[in-house]
Amino acid sequence: MLDFRFTNTPGGRNQDAIAELLIQPRLWIPSGDYPAHIDWREKALAQIVDEKKRAMIAYWGNEAVGGIVYQRDPADPTRVEVRNLSIERHARGRHVASFLLRQVEVEACVDFPGATTIVTDTKHTNTGLILFASENGYYVETVAKLDDSNFAHNGVPDVILAKDLNPPASF
């Protein structure tokens, strides 16, 4: 039986679920590629509780099976950054990642008024994530070196992927 639900309830109400998801293997990211991930996770969890970052979580029944962390770009209030996307292995292949991403695109306009663009980044060698983003309407905005970007990937050039946001229609 399929019973999916998605939530981005503010603050720490879903903190345990997102904490567990953030220690799972991430999509298209080889383990060891981001040695500071655990430190980032602890900081991100505190920022989610303080509502500096947001988290959208996918539940399959009562089990959290996917999560995406996003925030307003601190340097440009018209941009929203996707900072992490994690899906439990047994939920992969069901388009949970694409649906989570789409929900964040819609909610970003509500969560962050004035936002017009959503961005994410990855190492230029991460062809899996680049393909996923492209399939979901993102385009390569730029390839930047570490000092040209607020995204950090251990000195490997970043690919910044972007998509224009469209506010949800009024009913």
Chain segment 57-113, per-residue pLDDT in tens: 999 888 889 899 999 999 999 999 998 888 888 888 889 999 999 999 999 999 899
Tokens of residue 102, six digits? 């789409």
Sign of CA dihedral 115, 120, 121, 127: negative
Terminal Cα-to-Cα distance of the chain (whole angstroms): 31
Q: When comparing pLDDT for 22 and 162, which is higher?
A: 162
pLDDT of residue 171: 53
4-164 to CATH, choices 3.40.630.30, 3.20.20.105, 3.40.50.300, 3.20.20.450:
3.40.630.30
How do residues 106-155 score in pLDDT, each as one tens digit? 999 998 999 999 999 888 888 888 999 999 999 999 887 655 555 555 66
* Residues 6, 54 contacting (CB under 8 angstroms): no
How do residues 21-47 score in pLDDT, each as one tens digit? 777 655 555 556 666 667 777 888 888
pLDDT of residue 128: 87
pLDDT of residue 115: 95
pLDDT of residue 99: 92
Q: When comparing pLDDT for 138 and 8, which is higher?
A: 138
Distance CA 139, CA 133 (A): 8
- Running DSSP on this structure, what letter comes out for residue 94? S
